[in-house]
Structure formats: structure tokens, C-alpha cells
A = this chain, B = another copy of it.
Amino acid sequence: MADFMTETDERSAGVPRPGTAGEPREKAQDSAAGAPDGQEAVAQLERTRALVDPELRTAVESLPGAMRRVGLYHFGWQHADGTPATGNAGKAIRPALVLAAAAALGGPAARTAAVRAAVAVELVHNFTLLHDDVMDRDTTRRHRPTAWTVFGDADAILAGDAVQALALRLLAEDPHPAAVPAAARLAACVVELCEGQHVDTDMERRAPDSVTLDEVLAMAEAKTGALLGCACAVGGLYAGASAEEVAALDGFGRQAGLAFQLIDDVIGIWGDPRHTGKPAGADLAARKKSLPVVAALTSGTPAAAELAALYGEPYLEGGAQDGEIARTALAVERAGGRDWAQAEAADRMARAMQELARAVPDPEAAGGLLALAEFVTRRTA
């Protein structure tokens, strides 16, 4: 599932910021007026790491033997040989959303109470990363070899299993009255994440013309939006939020997650390789059925037919196909895939803002969540 760490560090693209955010967004922007773009979110993420990391690390260190070793490696606290590493456990977007949602509706006391739940959400995220890397045969994660390349498939799978269990154990041992509904919600989210990952791998195997835009949007919501929504909802539970507020927080996180995925997919095609750290058009060369590509394929335009023909054949590295990636990107663009994705991202951010206004009517209080949503969807850094 998507990891914001690399993308936000390394990718950049000119993506329009949603212009229809309405009252809460503008007010909240005012409230962060002293901070330049993204600085408020960066400060939040740093505070989150400081609050969450000690308990996260204690939890991972409570694992036995090999589970502990793989866990400490995956989170960046140990090298493969077990010696200490400086640590690079990602940007902590999800725990930051938990804490920001708790603070938005319950103030600093709720934020403090929700730290353990934030740790649980981060553990769930990392369990999915451990397993997805095995399934997708991804070899690099956070600039380091993935756990399965170092410890083998079996230990990476087992460590993921143990990290999922650890997350739900933390909540079961948390005496806070929100811990039990939070655990139920997080467990339901895991099921959704699993189905999202299934649909993703399944779609990649299918013929390009058999995938619908609704399918790929539903997949992105399950795979990326669900856990962002769950993080916000869990934070709300710890603030004693009503069922309506919790549902709106979930919707906020889901829509922001979809906006993120749309923008990430645009950058995957048109992003500057100097910033993305990936060769230009790597997603196209891999014939990935990303959101702009499926929008283009299903557009009914002449360019869609050209794109389908290109996607029908595997990309071969080397001279014979020089210029093919550029032609493929152009076909996606001419079929409207780029414009659609950018408009859809803006629309999803607008929906996220509406949900946020429903959940947290006070723009001042909503500022933290808003800054995080803008941080993950803004790519002009």
C-alpha cells in the first residue's frame, strides 16, 4: 500500500490545489498563516514521531526472537546484522492523523490518550507493507532492501502477522473506553486493505480493456483511502466523537487518500525523474493500470485505442522501443487521462473538505487535519 515517505520526499509535479475548499479550509489556512506551505504539517509529523516512536519501539521490541529482529529492521532501527541504525520509519502520516483527529474534537487530553491507538494504526500500516512487498516482489522500501530480500519470504510474512497481532493487542490492553470500538474498526479496515491489495494484484494481471474506472477507484479507496479514513475515525473515537462525526472523519481521510493516489499516479507518469528518483515513465513501462491510464483507456477516444494497443504488448527495454514511453504518456494525455486525474483529485479534496467541515465545524480546530491532507496531496516541494 502507498507509503508517503518516498513519494513526498522525492516526487514533485505541478498539481492544481483544489479551489473549492470552502469556509473551514480558508479559515484554517488563516490560522496557519504564519507558516509557509507545508511547514505546519512537517511540525505536526515531527511532534507525532516524538510522541509515537517510544511506544512504537517498545511494542516492536516486545516481540520475540526473529519477529523482533525483522520488525526492528523493517522500522529502520536496526541494520540487517542487528546493529543499531539511525531509524527511518516513514513520515508517520497515519499516526499524525489519529492524533490530529483526537485533538480536533477532544483537545490535548484526547491527543495524549490516543497515542497508543496511533501506534496501533502505524503497526497495521507496516504489517501491510511487510506483506505487500513479499507479494509485489518489491525490493526497496524507504531506501533500504525490503525485509523479505534480507530475511526471506517466510520471516517477512510471519513478522507481518505478528505486527498485526501486536497492533490489536495494544488496543485490547488499552483501558480507554474508545479502545474496543477502535479495535473493531481497525480490524474491519484490515479486511478492506486485504481485499484492496487483492484487487490491485488481480487487475494488474487482467487485459487492459477489462478494467473499469469504477473498479480502479474502488481499489484505490480500499488500498489507500481506507486506512487514512480509519486513522481519522480512531482519533475521533478517542475524543468521544459521535457516530456521525466519526463517519465524517472517516470520509475525510478516505477522500484525501484518493486525492493523494490520483496525484501520485500523475507524478508516476509525468513527474520529473530528478525528483521522483524513478526513471521517467516507469509506471507506464510496467504497464501499471494507474488511475490516469484507466481513465484514458475507458475514454472512448482514438487515443484510447492507441494506448490499448501499446499496453497490449509488454515494454521491452532498449533501442527498438525508444520513444515508446513518451508516445504512451502522450496517448494517456490526449485521451484525457491527465486532465481527468487532476480534476478528480481536486474534486476528492473538495469532498474531503466537506467531510471535515461536517466532522469539525470549528475551522481553527480543523487546521491540523487540513494541513496533513494538504501535505500528502501537495507536490510542488
Contact = CB atoms under 8 A, between A and B. Distances in A.
Interface of A: 63-67, 127, 131, 134-135, 153-155, 157-162, 164-166, 168-169, 171-173, 179-181, 183-184, 187-188, 190-192, 194-195, 197-199, 201-202
A198 B164 contact: no
Nearest to A124: B165
A179 B180 CA distance: 10
Contact of A187 (B160, B165, B194, B197): B165
Given A66-B195, A192-B64, A161 B158 contact: no
Contact of A181 (B158, B171, B172, B190): B172
13 contacts: A63-B195, A66-B199, A131-B161, A161-B164, A162-B190, A162-B191, A164-B165, A165-B187, A166-B191, A168-B187, A169-B183, A172-B180, A172-B183
B131 A157 contact: yes
B154 A168 contact: no
Do most interface residues of chain A lie in helix, strand or loop, or is the interface mixed? helix
A156 B181 CA distance: 28
A191 B62 CA distance: 10
Given A66-B198, A134-B157, A135-B154, A191 B165 contact: yes
Nearest to A183: B172
B66 A202 contact: yes
B134 A194 contact: no
Q: How many copies does the complex hold?
A: 2
A173 B184 CA distance: 6
A158 B166 CA distance: 18
A171 B194 CA distance: 20
Contacts of A166: 187, 191
A154 B195 CA distance: 11
A277 B190 CA distance: 38
Interface centre among A127, A154, A160, A202 (most CB of B within 10 A): A154
A344 B183 CA distance: 41
Contacts of A155: 198
A343 to B, nearest CB: 29
Given A157-B134, A157-B135, A169 B195 contact: no
Contacts of A187: 165-166, 168-169, 172
Nearest to A135: B154
A332 to B, nearest CB: 27
A195 B65 contact: yes
A236 to B, nearest CB: 17
